[in-house]
Chain A
Amino acid sequence: MNECYLGIDIGSISTKGVVIDKNKKVIASCYIWTEGSPTSAVKRVLMHLRKQLDASYVLKGIGTTGSARKLIGLMLEATVVKNEITAHAVGTLATHPDVKTILEIGGQDSKIIFLQNGIIVDYSMNTLCAAGTGAFLSSQAKRLGVEIEDFGDIALRSENPVKIAARCTVFAESDLIHKAQAGYLKEDIIAGLCKSIVLNYLNNVAKGKKIEGPIVFQGGVSKNKGVVKYFEELLKQEVLVDPDGHLMGAKGVAILASETANKKEYSWDIKDVSFETKGYECTGCSNHCELLKIIKNGKVIDTWGSRCGKF
């Protein structure tokens, strides 16, 4: 019998699942789109992961992270529910024990984590704004008629990236349209976009904090070679990109699950559980809280969103 631990990272755009063994080695992984429904995405992830494993592995712990971590944590009865920042730091430290800075750009948010001797000393996350995230890049790829997967390679071909406003998506977009209509080459525009993402990140997320190496770059956008190139150019340092960079959050939370004292045996059939959520407005008092009922196998197990503590 072999022990294994499951970590799931449910992001806004994609859902990542990782299974590790006792020695923190990844033995199965899966990456799919969330498509707006975290519960069904997780069910699909579990199905994929199970196919990759042989029957001798017994699931001993589950951890969840990402923006839907609480919901899925409840659904799977997870032992660990952790925020993305801690999960990413733990996951990255397992592969790069000496990392000092983690850059992460995901679909909806971007963050920077500073570490010293293996502990987080500072972090920051973007607020209020989609500039400098994957969602902006993919919407612009659509506008330019380019597959997002090819974005990086096209950007690398450019010798003279155009200047695009880096502060704000709205300005960036009108800048981009203007440049395209003025007749600039597509690859120069795409390279300019990649550069604007980097500039925006350094201005709004890193905000003049001192970035020291080794630097690890993660999140979906790290697959974009153009963005990596401009990071290296502007930071004047080498930026490491892992082939598993997108799985680090899931791996981190799986490691956390393997380290907790509270362990129990899970069956893989958890994916077949019937799980529903229902939103409604409470009219009990003047607060008018938006409540979310969570129903598992036909029974209400929790209600979220109340300000008064009635539920």
Chain B
Amino acid sequence: MGDYNVPIYYLLTHILHCKVQKPPKISDRTIELGNKYSPSFVCMPFKYTLGTLLESLEKGANVLLQMGGGCRYGYYYALQKEILKEEGYTFDFINLVTAGKTDVKKIIHDFKQIDTKFSILKSGYHLFITMKMIRYMDKIDIMIRKNIGFEKNKGEHIRLKKQMLSSFEKTKGYFSLFFTYLQYRKKFKNIRIQKGKCLKVGVIGELYTIMEPFANYDLEMMLSQFKIEVTRFTNATYLLFQKKKRVKKYLKRVKKYSKNRLGADALDNVGRMVYLGEKKYDGVIHIKSSFCTPEIGVMPILRRVANDYEIPLLFFSFDANTSKVGMETRLEAFYDMIEMRKKNE
């Protein structure tokens, strides 16, 4: 998902004594494969991950890892396992999050079964580095989102990020990681940008669609071409460390609109919407994959918040075959609209 394959790859190569195969990048073929073997009314993450699993099996993988939870995604591994078995593949399947809960004992047990030399102590250390790496990546990403639309030499941010990821891949230990991070943070700060008063847009919605650029047709890049500053809340750091702490805060903030947790990230999105309204953002874009039940449920609430704060709100719903042209038209119109509003203020 996104660029998180770098830290995950790091983790697996350091804790396991077997060959770790990088999953192939998501391509049109991945989606085609996923589509072919998925029920058509299942949400997009299922199709994408199933496609990736199939491609990995074709390349010779015999142990598959899957994680996910929150909504019905937590049960997808079971269905995917059955589908793949029916296709005649043999493999071991390790699920890191079972029905919304992480069972550490079971995971350690599973890992020991595939790797007899598996060491808990060593894994703990590398897990720590991996988490740090994810944190640093997210911090850099927040900086990039703020500035990428305004860079003087086009493509500089992307180029530098690629360099950063490849040096992260070669991380030796915690200190080397930390220094690489500091070095690149400085480099990113030194990129020349030209930024005056600009439009600000918040992107909220379902986590997979937000975090995988292939799934949202590079929405953030398209926004940056309009010279819009993007604020996005969902990233791995948020999901892993911050989400649990925020729930109470969000429930308090959205008291007027909802009393319940609504499932998955739905409550968080209402909370963010209120926040963006209070901060007087120029617009909000809500994205989800088609048939995502929690996010569909939250749409009417978001619309009400948008009315109360008079903030433009645009919905996108992605399926495996959404046309990019329709999306461009809507985005362009959205940009025209928020620009006109800003000028008339």
Contacts and interface: CB of A to CB of B under 8 A. Distances in A.
Interface of A: 67, 82-86, 117, 119-123, 125, 127-128, 286-289, 307, 309
Interface string B170-194: 0000000000000000000000000
A121 B341 contact: yes
10 contacts: A83-B333, A85-B329, A117-B344, A120-B337, A121-B337, A121-B341, A122-B312, A125-B326, A286-B27, A286-B29
Nearest to B343: A119
Given A83-B336, A122-B337, A286-B25, 6 more contacts: A67-B329, A83-B329, A120-B333, A121-B341, A286-B27, A307-B218
B333 A127 contact: no
Contact of B28 (A84, A117, A123, A288): A288
B332 A119 contact: no
Contact of A67 (B27, B155, B325, B340): B325
A296 B195 CA distance: 37
Nearest to A120: B337
B317 interface: yes
B29 A85 contact: no
Contacts of A82: 332, 336
Contacts of B333: 83-86, 120, 123
B330 interface: yes
Chain B interface residue bracket vs A: 20 to 34
A123 B337 contact: yes
A67 B326 CA distance: 8
A86 B28 contact: no
Contacts of A123: 333, 337
Given A67-B325, A127-B317, A287 B28 contact: yes
Given A119-B340, A123-B333, A287 B312 contact: no
B330 A125 contact: yes
Given A84-B329, A119-B344, A286 B337 contact: no
Contacts of A84: 329, 333
Contacts of B124: none
B70 interface: no
A86 B336 contact: yes
Contacts of A289: 28
A120 B24 contact: no
Contacts of B27: 286-288
A289 B214 CA distance: 12
A131 to B, nearest CB: 16
Interface in B264-288: none
Contact of A120 (B218, B325, B330, B336): B336
Interface in B313-329: 317, 325-326, 329
A289 B25 CA distance: 14
Contacts of B326: 125, 127
Contacts of A85: 329, 333, 336-337
B29 A120 contact: no
Nearest to A84: B329
Interface in B212-244: 218
Interface string B2-37: 000000000000000000000011011100000000
A127 B287 CA distance: 14
Contacts of A286: 24-25, 27, 29
Contacts of B24: 286
Contacts of A122: 312, 337
Contact of B29 (A125, A128, A288, A309): A288
Contacts of A127: 317, 326
B281 to A, nearest CB: 15
A105 to B, nearest CB: 16
Contacts of B332: 82-83, 86
Nearest to A81: B332
Contacts of B155: 309
A100 to B, nearest CB: 15
A121 B317 CA distance: 22
